[in-house]
Structure 1
Amino acid sequence: MIKIGTTLTLEQRNKEDEVTRFKCRIVEHQGHTLYIDYPINVQSGRTDVFPKGTTFEAFYVGEQEAVFHFSTEIKGRKKANLPMLLLHFDEKKMKKIQRREYVRVDANIDIALEDQGMEIPSFSTLTSDISGGGVAVNLKDGIKVKPGTTFKTVLVLRTGPTEYHYIYATTEAIRTQQKKDHRTATLSMKFTDIDEKDRQKIIQYCFETQLKNRRQTNR
């Protein structure tokens, strides 16, 4: 069942088969109608004009990291303290398109690490991939990490064109893998302590990144 506060990703395809993506949140749900805040264009960070009858393909991440899809259209507007759009919603026609058990995506995200055992100097680097379960980071020359080492971790997750969300977590080193050039290495880590709201933001980020990559591949 779809919940209030859920983030929707809306896709709109033009005549040239180009896809524009928007993000919004569900504010109310009554029968076959979803009340959403005004969708924000993911690329520009701005709202657009949406006439009645505008159609979208909608996606969202539900419970247990499952991704759902349904077709929808704008039924009207509602004036309140928060201006809202009304979307048609038929739960019977909603499809579960995949189970997202911490799907991992390639991503270069700023990350800062502080060894809780104070054996390794604190350092900042970039991730090479990320999932709801953990991250892999690029190790700088001379940094060696033993499996089981725990870090206070700060991730800077981009959530919009000019919006960033700071995620504070504890991670544990799993293994280090040497890259093919034999000069750099990748450290795989798992989250051992993370706010579930922050984990959901990471899962949403992975979902949107995968969706974007899939659309580009299918062009």
Structure 2
Amino acid sequence: MIKIGTMITLEKQADDEELQQFRCRVVEKKGSTLYIDYPINTKTGRTDFFPNGTFLFAYFVGEDQSIYKFYTEIVDRKREKVPMLLIRFDQNKLTKIQRREYVRVNANLDVSISDPERELDTFTTITKDISGGGLAVILPPDVEVRPAMPLDLVIVLRMKDDKIDYVFTQAEAIRVFNQSEDSKQLLSMKFINIYEQDRQKIIQFCFETQLKARRKGLDN
């Protein structure tokens, strides 16, 4: 279910009652213990002090692209070439938040689109939504795209920690349709020839966006 290299998001309540989020990666797994690298605060980009006995909520994206959470505790630390924290992990107590092949979230991301066949001039726009399988963008009124047309994309991913990632990939046009709210045309596309590491970046972005929306809903 969880393997070495899996990215985990940790949540901790600060002394001022502010909820803090940290990102880390699974370095090793032994029985019911996960060895993680030192968590980085997604807001400040810095590490924090995690004494033994610290209780945390943990979230990760499983191989089925569902989001899982579990309650955990810092049980020890280990200093080797990579300093690590040891946390409890009971697979039988995992809670699944979402079960879909790819979680789709609403997001306004900058994207540059070009036509490898040079029938269209390169244009820039923003996404309406995105998932690990594809995206929908606002189509400028003077641009005509045919179904099944291959397009080269550069997507600007703005992660929670303000880090910017660029995803270079190719997509295939699915359909053009009107957005009911303001009559803008949308172009839906599915990813083709996408590197798996780039797909994982998008999945991680969707995960963070969904987690933020979920947390906002709990706070309201």
Say whether residues 1:62 and 2:62 are aligned partners.
yes
Aligned length: 218
What does the per-residue CA deviation read over 1:97-117, in whole Å, with 9 as the maximum and x for residues that have no partner? 331321210111121111122
Rounded to whole Å, the distance in 1 between the matches of 2:33 and 2:164 is 31
Rounded to whole Å, the distance in 2 between the matches of 1:181 and 1:32 is 52
Q: For the structure 1 residues 50 and 135, does the alpha-carbon distance in structure 2 shift closer, same or farther, using more than 3 Å as the test?
A: same
Contact 2:58 2:70 in 1 (8 A): yes
- 1:181 aligned partner: 182
Report which stretch shifted further, 203-212 or 139-148: 139-148
Read off the aligned partner of 2:182 and give its amino acid letter.
D
The secondary structure found in structure 2 opposite 1:127 is strand
Rounded to whole Å, the distance in 1 between the matches of 2:136 and 2:50 is 40
Consecutive unaligned residues in structure 1, runs of 5 or more? none
Q: Percent identity?
A: 51
Say whether residues 1:104 and 2:113 are aligned partners.
no
- Please state how far the C-alpha of 1:160 moved relative to its aligned partner: 4.7
Contact 1:8 1:58 in 2 (8 A): yes
- TM-score, normalised with respect to structure 2: 0.92
Read off the aligned partner of 1:150 and give its amino acid letter.
P
The secondary structure found in structure 1 opposite 2:204 is helix
- 1:115 aligned partner: 115
Rounded to whole Å, the distance in 1 between the matches of 2:15 and 2:163 is 30
- 1:216 aligned partner: 216
- 1:204 aligned partner: 204
Contact 1:67 1:100 in 2 (8 A): no
Contact 2:132 2:203 in 1 (8 A): yes
Contact 1:110 1:124 in 2 (8 A): yes
Q: For the aligned residues, what is the CA RMSD?
A: 1.8
- 2:71 aligned partner: 71
Consecutive unaligned residues in structure 2, runs of 5 or more? none
Report which stretch shifted further, 100-109 or 158-167: 158-167
Report which stretch shifted further, 95-104 or 120-129: 95-104
Contact 1:54 1:73 in 2 (8 A): yes
Read off the aligned partner of 1:68 and give its amino acid letter.
Y
Rounded to whole Å, the distance in 1 between the matches of 2:190 and 2:203 is 14
Contact 1:45 1:160 in 2 (8 A): no
The secondary structure found in structure 1 opposite 2:64 is helix
What does the per-residue CA deviation read over 1:123-158, in whole Å, with 9 as the maximum and x for residues that have no partner? 122111100110111222311212121101111212
Contact 1:117 1:149 in 2 (8 A): no
What does the per-residue CA deviation read over 1:143-202, in whole Å, with 9 as the maximum and x for residues that have no partner? 1212121101111212353422221211111112223434x3221111122112211221
- 2:125 aligned partner: 125
| Structure 1 runs (4+) greater than 4 angstroms displaced | 14-18
- 1:170 aligned partner: 170
Read off the aligned partner of 1:171 and give its amino acid letter.
A
Q: For the structure 1 residues 40 and 127, does the alpha-carbon distance in structure 2 shift closer, same or farther, using more than 3 Å as the test?
A: same
